[in-house]
Amino acid sequence: MGLDQFTVLEWFLVAQHELLLFTAAFFAVGLIDELAIDLAYLGLRLKRRFKTPVVNGVELSRRHLSGRAAVFIPAWQESAVIGPTICHMLANWSQTGLRIYVGCYRNDPSTIASVIAAARSDTRVRLVIHGADGPTSKADCLNRLYSALCTDETRIGEQVRMVVLHDAEDMVDPAALGLLDMGLSHADFVQLPVLALPQIGSQFIGTHYSDEFAEAHGKTLVVRDALGAAIPGAGVGCAISREILAQFGDEPFARHSLTEDYELGLRIAERGGRGRFLRCRTQEGRLIATRAYFPAELNIAVRQKTRWMHGIALQGWDRLGWSGSPVNLWMQLRDRRGPFGAILLTLAYALIVVSALATLVVGLGLAKPLPLSSLLKALLLVNLFGVAWRLGSRVAFTAREYGWRVGFMAIPRLMVSNVIAIMAGRRALLAYIGTLRGAPIVWDKTEHRDHPAMNPSLGQMAG
């Protein structure tokens, strides 16, 4: 039969076959990439290089800091959570060498009032009010805090040893500050794990972050650290040496970047600084990490992941380019695959509908079935194995932090994660096109309504 004799339905079956081949091929490439990370993790663990260090949490919480520490917390419309965060931080970090810099805006009086109430005349809290109306950008707010720090250092004639970054909703671990101080003895940048707390009231949208961070900060960043790749900043639970921060000038945080924390970690590595990812447990088994609730509503989760995808994948390509060792290039490629992954996921879900229609067409005898090629059969088998492997990995790492009940629920939550990624990918591409046309970079911050210290019944603490 010639091509001109194909019916519309037969062309539909051909298109379905080719689309399936295209999607299966690229999914196979992605699965091989993930398998490489998994095999690296398993291999290094067998060599006992990945055994999580056990430390004395009590001693670390009482550790005398090697130098003064400044904590930067940028805040815009955070009156609901900034107070509990400050109180929790002051209670858990008792070191006298600590000073907390909270950046607020002059047109946000409720957040300013919450900071003042939480500080309760504790001299370790420094309220810094931005001279412009908010929001500007998170990086701009951080640069204002850095300016206040420089002013204080000039006034007292002494520099701090490290700058620690946190968000307005974070719950810090009592041993975290001591561990960061210890880590900077051998590095210029240190990142601690982040634990997204499971939420009883949002077991799919809010808790899907628990699955993602458990795997990313329990495996991927551990492998990245072991291979000597640059460690990106997560924006919370990370410490930068004051010496290397000074090398970035008066504005060390990139004001035109949506993910200035991620970018700073990579730029430190570009300058020859050493970054480390420190994953330790206390003798009681508690992971020393930053804990927080993540968005429990779909639109807020999509907005947050849009910012991450736009900043890391799209802006990162423009602003950071491609450079470094083969391992760093590999990690950059992994970081920037988000938009393409969203396109593949869209095609995969579309294929479910298209394949169902194709089966119906063949079943009704309207067209002859198109035989699957050997290549496509092989790719589908690879995909099937890969998906099963990925689900097992996600379940295992989630269960390790939160228990098997939460772990097994990671399987249905994966679909939620995929849907959010698809929606965020579309928005990120549109937002990126907008910036290319001159749209300004603004602080599209995540709205925080609940804090673990205020509403412990909403979730569970990870051990």
Q: What is the pLDDT of residues 298-309, one digit of tens each?
A: 999 999 999 999
Task: Provide the pLDDT for residue 250.
Answer: 94
Task: Provide the pLDDT for residue 113.
Answer: 97
333, pLDDT greater than 60: yes
- Tell me the per-residue pLDDT of 140-193, one tens digit each, with 9 for 90 and over: 999 999 999 999 999 999 999 999 999 999 999 999 999 999 999 999 999 999
Burial 267-281 (b: 16+ CB within 10 A, else e): bbbeeebbbbbbbbb
Query: What is the spatial distance between Cα 35 and Cα 418, in angstroms, rounded to a whole number?
Result: 19
Share of the chain above pLDDT 70, in %: 94
462, pLDDT greater than 90: no
Least confident residue range of 82-91, 310-319, 451-460: 451-460
Query: What is the spatial distance between Cα 448 and Cα 235, in angstroms, rounded to a whole number?
Result: 16
- Mean pLDDT over residues 369-395, rounded? 92
- Mean pLDDT over residues 44-53, rounded? 78
Q: How confident is the model at residue 349 (pLDDT cuts 50, 70, 90)?
A: very high
Nearest to 357 by CA among 14, 5, 11, 16: 16
- Tell me the per-residue pLDDT of 59-93, one tens digit each, with 9 for 90 and over: 999 999 999 999 999 999 999 999 999 999 999 99
Residue-range domain boundaries for the chain: 3-40+337-436, 54-335+450-458
Question: Phi/psi at 214 (nearest 5 deg)?
Answer: -60, -40
Q: Which helix (H) or strand (E) holds 111?
A: helix 109-119
pTM comes to 0.91
> Hey, which residues does 82 pair with through a beta bridge?
none
- Tell me the per-residue pLDDT of 209-256, one tens digit each, with 9 for 90 and over: 999 999 999 999 999 999 999 999 999 999 999 999 999 999 999 988
270, pLDDT greater than 70: yes
437, pLDDT greater than 90: no
Tell me the CATH class for 54-335+450-458: alpha beta
